[in-house]
A = this chain, B = another copy of it.
Amino acid sequence: MHDRLYENSLLYVEVEPSQVPWVKIFVKKPTRELSSCDTQTKAMLYETLDKIERQMIGFFKPTKINIASFGNYKPQVHFHIMARFKTDDFYPEPMWGTKQRSGELNLTNLDEFYDKLQKYLTSDV
Interface residues of A (CB under 8 A from B): 32-35, 42, 46, 49-50, 53-54, 57, 63-73, 75, 84, 91-94, 96-97
Q: Which residue of B lies closest to A71 (CB)?
A: B64
State whether A72 touches B96 (Cβ < 8 A).
no
* CA–CA, A66 and B92, complex, Å: 20
Given A34-B50, A72-B91, 19 more A-B residue pairs with CB atoms under 8 Å apart are A32-B64, A34-B53, A34-B65, A35-B53, A35-B57, A42-B50, A64-B70, A64-B72, A66-B69, A66-B70, A66-B72, A67-B68, A68-B70, A72-B93, A72-B94, A93-B96, A94-B94, A94-B96, A96-B96
State whether A49 touches B34 (Cβ < 8 A).
yes
State whether B69 touches A67 (Cβ < 8 A).
yes
* CA–CA, A61 and B63, complex, Å: 37
* CA–CA, A96 and B95, complex, Å: 9
Task: Indicate whether A72 sits within 8 Å of B92 (C-beta atoms), given known contacts A34-B65, A34-B67.
Answer: yes
**Residues of chain B contacted by A69 (CB below 8 angstroms):** 66-68
